[in-house]
Amino acid sequence: MRILHTSDWHIGRTFHGHSTLAALAEVLDALVGQVRENDVDVVIVAGDVFDSATPAASAYTLLDETLLALHETGATVIMTSGNHDSAARLGFHSRLLRDGIHVLTDPLAIAAPVTVRDEHGPVHFFGIPYLEPAIVRRLWPDAVLRTQAQVMHHAMGLVREGMARNGGRSVAVAHCFAAGVDPTAGLEREVRQGGLDVVPLASFDGPDYVALGHIHGRQQLGEQVRYSGAPLHYSFGEQHKERGSWLVDLDADGLASTRWLALPVPRALVTLIGALDEILSDENAGAHVGDWVCAVYTDAVPQHEPMRRLRERFPFCALVQHQPSGADAAEDRSYAQRLRTAVTDPERIEAFLEHVRGGEGATEREAELIREVLDDRVRAEALV
């Protein structure tokens, strides 16, 4: 059986204020072509199908068109929800789809696989939607589910129970932050507390292949445990990371081989660093006139209207930053800098408290209250 593992489409996401819908449509069309050319039997989308719990109509249109095109190749599609998706909305959408397209969003159905057969027999696909501990612990009141690690360990236990009841090969699909990954700063935005969201690699033992989503760059945590990353660049921090999918082959005994299939990049990303006049040079303009540009100018003082001047040379300049050369890196970062580098809500709150308290962050009791408030917000958003 041949499987294509993709994830993190983030349909509807913007790139520094610019729509990515057309670019993503181009890339997903190429992905459909790869499915057809490589005779793929099953396409896995491991979460974060949309970028928002309330996607616009145009995002649904692109998803529907892509799923229809995948269906026409003859491949079965298996999709799970991620932390950016609304599981309820994505699950409702699944009821409108045709046979051969499966959207798995129900935590209580984790142990019930989607089964696809080939000449060697059945392959059971177990879909684990993104599981927020504050929301799902009520589903399994007898289990201790305070962290992502505990929730995923419990979910994989359900997968192994399903494997025991269904003979044959198996594939697990999940959306989480696994131990050993190298994340892209500022992109993986789920609430984290002291690393408690990190899922140990041993939790994924059992299946012949584990298709993970959530990290935007491809990563191999083990021969059988991999991230495919996002099909499109969504940040300058991703600019050097390849875009593509894993082509996975199963034989009668399990995992036989994996191969990386690169996807096209509609518009390259580049970061130019130097004095503003150097960045604006004819050489740079000729080389990067069609690229997304992040300009980091190092002049000692801020320059007049840098973005206007940059866009005269680089029509797709998306970001400009002033970082004077020779600045003392050992100096304390400003409050604004700490906010820019903060990834999660707790980190942003901690930066604010340190700023207003002269360096002192939250007390142990305050940190506990902050976690409770954030958990309540997550529950409320899940009901929307």
pLDDT, position 210: 98
**27 band by pLDDT with thresholds 50, 70 and 90:** very high
Average confidence (pLDDT) over 274-283: 96
Q: Are residues 118 and 159 in the same domain?
A: yes
Boundary of a domain, candidates 322, 344, 360: 322
Inform me whether the pLDDT recorded for 384 exceeds 90. no
Inform me whether the pLDDT recorded for 37 exceeds 90. yes
Is 276 a member of any domain?
yes
Contact 45, 9 (CB under 8 A): yes
Least confident of 39-53, 187-201, 255-269, 370-384: 187-201
| Dihedral pair phi/psi, residue 249, rounded to 5° | -110, 130
Contact 340, 319 (CB under 8 A): no
Boundary of a domain, candidates 216, 244, 262: 262
Count the neighbouring beta carbons within 10 Å of the beta carbon of residue 177: 20
Is 193 a member of any domain?
yes
For residue 16, the enclosing domain spans 2-262
**pLDDT per position as a tens digit, 182-225:** 655 545 444 343 344 788 999 999 999 999 999 888 999 999 99
**pLDDT per position as a tens digit, 311-336:** 999 999 999 999 988 654 444 456 67
pLDDT, position 362: 83
pLDDT, position 365: 82
Q: Are residues 295 and 357 in the same domain?
A: no
pLDDT, position 278: 96
Which one, of 6, 17, 11, 10, lies nearest residue 292 by Cα? 17
CATH code of the domain containing 313: 3.30.160
**91 band by pLDDT with thresholds 50, 70 and 90:** low
User: Cα torsion at 238, 63, 115, 157 (round to 10°)?
Assistant: 50
The residues that bridge with 15 in the sheet, in sequence order, are: 18
Question: Cα separation of 329 and 180, whole Å?
Answer: 28
Q: Are residues 340 and 298 in the same domain?
A: no
**pLDDT per position as a tens digit, 290-309:** 999 999 999 988 999 999 99
Which one, of 80, 95, 92, 56, lies nearest residue 8 by Cα? 80
Question: Strand, helix or coil at 357?
Answer: coil
Q: Are residues 136 and 239 in the same domain?
A: yes
Q: Are residues 254 and 313 in the same domain?
A: no
Contact 279, 307 (CB under 8 A): no
Inform me whether the pLDDT recorded for 277 exceeds 60. yes
Question: Cα separation of 217 and 185, whole Å?
Answer: 11
CATH code of the domain containing 60: 3.60.21.10
Average pLDDT over the chain, rounded to an integer: 87
pLDDT, position 189: 46
Is 329 a member of any domain?
no
**pLDDT per position as a tens digit, 134-184:** 888 899 998 988 888 899 999 999 999 999 999 899 999 999 888 877 655
pLDDT, position 4: 98
pLDDT, position 332: 47
- By residue count, the chain amounts to 384
Q: Are residues 160 and 86 in the same domain?
A: yes
Question: Cα separation of 72 and 79, whole Å?
Answer: 17
Boundary of a domain, candidates 262, 281, 309: 262
Contact 45, 77 (CB under 8 A): yes
Inform me whether the pLDDT recorded for 372 exceeds 90. no
| 37 burial type by CB count under 10 A (0-12 exposed, 13-18 middle, 19+ buried) | exposed
Q: Are residues 256 and 110 in the same domain?
A: yes
Q: What is the pTM of this model?
A: 0.81
Inform me whether the pLDDT recorded for 247 exceeds 90. yes
Is 64 a member of any domain?
yes
Q: Are residues 376 and 273 in the same domain?
A: no
Is 195 a member of any domain?
yes
Q: Are residues 173 and 209 in the same domain?
A: yes
Which residue shows structure tokens 């490589």? 38
pLDDT, position 53: 82
Number of domains in the chain: 3
Is 146 a member of any domain?
yes
Beta strands in 252-363 (DSSP E): 254-262, 269-274, 292-297, 317-322
pLDDT, position 347: 80
Q: Are residues 161 and 303 in the same domain?
A: no
Is 327 a member of any domain?
no
Is 371 a member of any domain?
yes
Q: Is 144 left (phi over 0), alpha (psi -120 to 50) or beta?
A: beta
Cα dihedral sign, 332-337-343-349 = positive
Question: Cα separation of 182 and 167, whole Å?
Answer: 35
Q: Are residues 258 and 273 in the same domain?
A: no
Question: Cα separation of 118 and 251, whole Å?
Answer: 9
pLDDT, position 194: 37
Q: Are residues 207 and 131 in the same domain?
A: yes
Least confident of 66-80, 181-195, 257-271: 181-195
Inform me whether the pLDDT recorded for 78 exceeds 80. yes
